[in-house]
Structure 1
Amino acid sequence: MLADPVLEARARDISKELRCLVCQNQSIDDSNAPLAHDLRVLVRQRLVAGDSNEAVKQYLVARYGDYVLMKPPFKPETWVLWLGPPVLLLLGGALVWSVLRGRGRASTTAAEAALSPEEEKRLSELVDS
């Protein structure tokens, strides 16, 4: 904790925007991982040194990459992070649709494969003989 409440508030705001690289789904502000603690200390050191909020985030991005940001920028290097989930959802939906569609065809084919009355008569004659 910093003695200056303004700097501490800035540190907390920045910490909420940075991802814990261990937990991956928590900000460093919420995480109890040792690396998250180290990153919180680093953020405070940079603020005490006079860096702006953006300069602190850019420093951490330079060290750890865009993945350290809870909301990475939309650029070619991060397209997978932004577009991966919707693409996987669409592919899964297409797979489910094709399976259900194929199941409907199979039941129709089975109904069409039923024996006609003439075929049933011929089959019973063959079984009886």
Structure 2
Amino acid sequence: MKTVLLVDDEHAILDALSGILEDEGFRVVTAGNGREALARMEEARPDVALVDVMMPVMDGRELLRELQAHERWRTVPVVLMSAVPRAILTRDAPITCDDFFQKPFDLWKLIDRLRELAGSDDSH
């Protein structure tokens, strides 16, 4: 079973996506911000991370930089998601992530991409 680290400060999104991803065969570890996500990384190394960009305490871009700076975690694929278009988010500085989904997104495309990045060959 592949593990997804799901990071979002909106509890409704965490609950909804967690349930859907679990139904699709993923183990889901959740965090409400980037700092919590780093603690969860210590508990259970995920196969892929799905991270919201706009969050308090430590946002998705800061978390991405932290993960990429640590050799232990830099191989974990990171998918960023945001209601803000990527072009606006990258205007001041590029974001180097494995994929980006603008909210609202096609749920099945997201699940397929998470499976691909996690190395799972399951399909819906």
Instruction: Write 1 or 2 for the structure with the bigger share of helix.
Output: 1
TM-score range normalised by the length of the shorter chain: under 0.3
Q: TM-score, normalised by structure 2?
A: 0.23
Computing the radius of gyration from Cα coordinates, the structure with the larger value is 1
With a CA cutoff of 8 Å and minimum separation of 6, indicate the structure with the bigger relative contact order.
2
Q: TM-score, normalised by structure 1?
A: 0.22
